[in-house]
Amino acid sequence: MSKKINNKGLIERVRGMHDVMSNEYLIRKKIIEKAENIASFYGFEPIQTPHLERAELFTSAIGESTDIIEKEMYKLKTKGGDNLVLRPEGTAPIVRAYIEHGMQTKPQPVMLYYHGSFFRHERPQRGRSREFQQFGLEILGEENSIVDAIIIKTLLTILEEAVGIKPISVHINSIGDKECRKVYQKELTTYYKRKTNDLCKDCQYRLKSNPLRLLDCKNKECDEIKQGAPQIINYLCPGCTNHFKELLEILDASEVSYFLDQYLVRGLDYYSRTAFEFFLEENPDEEKMSLELGGGGRYDSLAHILGNKNIPGVGGAIGVDRAIKILSEKKKLSVQTKTPEVFFIQLGSNAKYKSLFLLDILRKAKIPIKHSLSRNSLKSQLKIASKLGASYVLILGQKETTDNTIIIRNMETTSQEIVPISKLVDRLKKKLK
Ligand SMILES: [Zn+2]
Ligand SMILES: [Zn+2]
């Protein structure tokens, strides 16, 4: 087997994958905790689906001619011959779980939140990893636009309050349903066919495979052509028009401001009606592309594709990695870690043997403590204690171990007292007050 070894002879991590450590780890944890609280408040319940799914789940749900299916899935074949993939997105697995566990028998709608890793083999760029973390919401079993509004409002609140980045702009569009989109797609194709030679290579391909994606192109030449393209809003059937109108009215009444974005189509085949994305409103002076922080949409036909069921659904997700990236660029990446007030020192082998027993007494009393149990000398342990800014050190020596006592030393005044182990918690708590 081949190993990727660098010039120092080390096996390196896989490209596009990251180790999450120290401060960043704590920030991620905090963001997820706050996001879970917000989601629970709005009535969402947790779900966790596996990292591995059958390949057909995504090929049938997402559509063959999308970047995800064509080039971005991590595929593997089991010894038994099953084709599995590392999940590239969260919605199809949740719809699968809904059908598989018969959630249609529960009171509807079913509101779920999830977070975890997703995998796409794409070119790593700003804030993009091949293993990326998402926090997402899904509402299944309800067609009314009020649930679209709940998804948008909850995700927006998570971005603003759990992540803490503002201002966020909400881009929104309706891409119609199967019926009215068919008519629009035909018009769009006719329009673009006349300009085939002026289109970029990608768009020439999209024209054949997935014409809606033409509106996604960020190329300059294609942009001019896009300006004259027919707009989907003019092709929506009465049902889709009403659904969209009602959603906008609810957002207005909820004081959520939005931007009607006629080019917003979302890349996946299963979307219908509502499509939305969140962007960070960046300072226009800074030469950065506006950064998408997440998005989602309605997928009323997905359950039909996966299990021949008629279950309307809507959902969305935010990219935790990108949010963290922005926080670090804005230098908002710090978690206040409490400096420990107490440091535990042991001297001699009998004291060392007893130290885990002692630490457990403090853990049960909820007194946070630092230690360096592998050290032996008083000097080196005191040095670490003062480096960490400890206010008190506990010293367990040979004599104290025999007497069942311990020394509490005030680091500032250097005064110290000997207390029985049985009184240690009480004495310490008084001092720490
Ligand atoms: Zn193009
Ligand atoms: Zn329609």
Q: Which ligand is nearest to the CA of 206?
A: 1
Distance (Å) of CA 338 to CA 166, 212, 368: 27, 52, 10
pTM of the entire predicted model: 0.88
Surrounding ion ligand 1 within 5 Å at CB are: 200, 203, 217, 219, 222
Residue at 223 is within a domain: no
Which pLDDT value is given to residue 414?
A: 92
User: What is the predicted pLDDT for the residue at 338?
Assistant: 62
Confidence (pLDDT) at 287: 46
Domain containing residue 107 = 22-177+237-329
Looking at all shown ligands, the one closest to residue 198's CA atom is 1
- Ligand 2 ion local residues (Cβ < 5 A): 176-177, 180, 237, 240
- pLDDT tens for residues 253-277? 999 999 999 989 876 778 899 999 9
Asked, for residue 171, whether it belongs to a domain, the answer is: yes
Q: Given strand 83-86, what is the order of strands in its sheet?
A: 52-54, 83-86, 75-77
What's the DSSP call for residue 198? G
108 and 172 inside one domain: yes
In whole angstroms, give the CA distance from residue 41 to residue 78: 41
CATH number of the CATH domain containing 246: 3.30.930.10
Choose among 16, 157, 154, 3: nearest CA to 86: 16
pLDDT at 322: 87
pLDDT of residue 4: 65
CA of 260 to the centre of ligand 1 (A): 22
| 410 and 358 co-located in one domain | yes
Query: Do 347 and 324 share a domain, yes or no?
Result: no
Same domain, 282 and 316: yes
Q: From the CA of 292, how far away is ligand 1's center (Å)?
A: 19
Q: How far is the CA of 330 from the centre of ligand 2 (A)?
A: 42
Per the structure, the count of domains in the chain is 2
- HSE, CB side, 13 Å, CA atoms: give it for residue 116: 19
Whether residues 245 and 108 share a domain: the answer is: yes
Q: What's the average pLDDT block by block, 10 residues per block, for the chain (433 residues)?
A: 69 90 91 97 98 93 74 90 94 96 96 97 72 97 97 97 91 93 92 92 88 86 90 95 98 95 82 94 59 92 89 96 84 63 95 95 94 94 93 96 96 95 95 89
Q: If you measure from the C-alpha of residue 147 to the centroid of ligand 2, how many angstroms do you get, rounded to a whole number?
A: 18
